[in-house]
Structure 1
Amino acid sequence: MERTDFIENRADVIKNIYTLYSYLGSNSEEERDWALNRFKQGKWYIVEPFGNMLFFAPSRFVGYKNNNIAKHTENHGDGTQTNEYFRRNRLYKISEDEFLSKQFNNFMLSIGIDKESAQFFIPYNQEISDLQSGHKCYFICPTHCSGQKEDAWKSFFEKGIMAIGWNNTDYSNYTLEEITKEYVDDAKAIAAFTLIKQIKEGDIICCTNNAYGLWGIGIATSSYRFKENIHKAGVDEDGEEAYYSHYINVAWICFKEQGFIPTSDLHIHAPEKMWQPYGTLTQKDIP
């Protein structure tokens, strides 16, 4: 039976990749073997940057929304259809490159698979040079409104974004120097806009809950964008509703259904250091 539950965007694909990789790391031998077979049997592979690593996943598995073992076992779908869907909707494009082949072979050997050939799709708006470039990790507070972080995080999660506030001016075509002139006496705004304008696809985004932990971890799927009042930050100290308009699209892949991920669960050991617990937006190098 034909499947029609195709993914809608790259965030859906990234979530499926994360699901498949989670099976590889599962404590269940059955889940691990199932995932290994997907990689063995694949012909076409989607390539996505996760920080400074490239992740590969069979195009058929990642082409259907919220895919998992149960759905795929019941009806695995048609890879020809998912590949056509990726191309038609300009989500991914075919790429043949020695760099991709080498990275893919290294990954497959790391999971015990020796595969002679494979073909690749890379994000439609990216080139090989983009996939070779380094990435950063960014830490974002979801709101400046006291006591309202969980609701603000839910807005991030449901909309698949991260966002910051200040003026409702679209800075898409502004240089950093031009933005700085609008915030001459506001060092916090300048710092936040400096960073949000640097974020690129594949960077890691972490939504913070002060020093207590993280609401979620995701992958940036866009650079800077603007939409007036896209994010409701809450109600500020003056009793006014607060909204943010400057945003990045994010595929949120690691989170708890309820609450946040405690710092203790993140296993941060020296020389690693925790994120800066306060502030709007901060940045760290990826080890």
Structure 2
Amino acid sequence: MKNTILLLVLSFIASNIKGQSLQEVTDIGSTTSNTISINTGNEGLRLVGNSYLSFRNAGNLSRVGYLQHDGDNLVISSDVGNVRFTNNVGIGTIYPTQKLTIDGSIKINGQSRGLFIQYATLSESLNGASTILGNNVKAGLGNNTVQRFVSPDDPGSYVSLNYYHGITFHTGVASALNTDISSTDNEVMRITQAGNVGIGTTDTKGYRFAVNGKIRAQEIKVEASPWPDYVFTKDYQLPSLQQTEQHIKENGHLPGIPSAAEVKANGIDLGEMNSKLLQKIEELTLHLIEKDKQIQKLEKRMSSLESKSQ
């Protein structure tokens, strides 16, 4: 009899127990603090149409972010805060080796858009932090250092954007991999913060363009002023040959022309020097003209004397 009563009780309980589907739980607005596991081995959760997976605030249930495919693109949006990835992210690759690995091109479009690189690890003199843009080169671990880090067979090159030095260009970096070397090594050119350009030198001495080495060009145009046509004006005081001779004896060079020691120490200004040389040529031309007149007079006088003596 007891067994019969027990079976009746169990049958009654079982007849009143009804499992709830996920739809029914959703319809009545039920929530759970338990973990929901989906383990189907294939498609586990299907969102149809413009449905999306939303993330809600635990207090007021306001939306703080969502995941949705709008028919064209997969949208990951954060209504509050940022979207954060803690591990490596790959775009176009399933094997990201860095925090962000991209196999493909990057397009930055729109006004005031750009690539922002912050907290470069290279620090140079006078606390001028640098950003390194390099091929086979990255910022080193210590101050004022860089490292070659990818291929041991290929020399590295890089551009350093520096608060103090300006923009410096470095080539032929052939140090051991993952070894700090000085960031002042292998520099071949720089553009200073003042806009001056130095090739083979780090000191432009205030000039717009300074080169430590030879230059080859098909044409160089130098604008020089004033041009010494004033030598041919009537009020120009032409130095006499005697004055020029005296200056040479006393100084060892032409008047108005720098000495060899001055040229060695300071170099020459091409435009200014061409102007000075032309001035001397014009002065010499005037002297030649005058001497030619004197010779012509002497020739006439000699011819006259010869005629009288016959």
Instruction: Please say whether Structure 1 and Structure 2 have the same fold, judged by a TM-score greater than 0.5.
Output: no
Greater RCO between the two (CA within 8 Å, min separation 6)?
Answer: 1
How does the TM-score come out when normalised to structure 2? 0.17
How does the TM-score come out when normalised to structure 1? 0.17
Higher Rg: 2
The structure carrying a bigger helix percent of its residues is 1
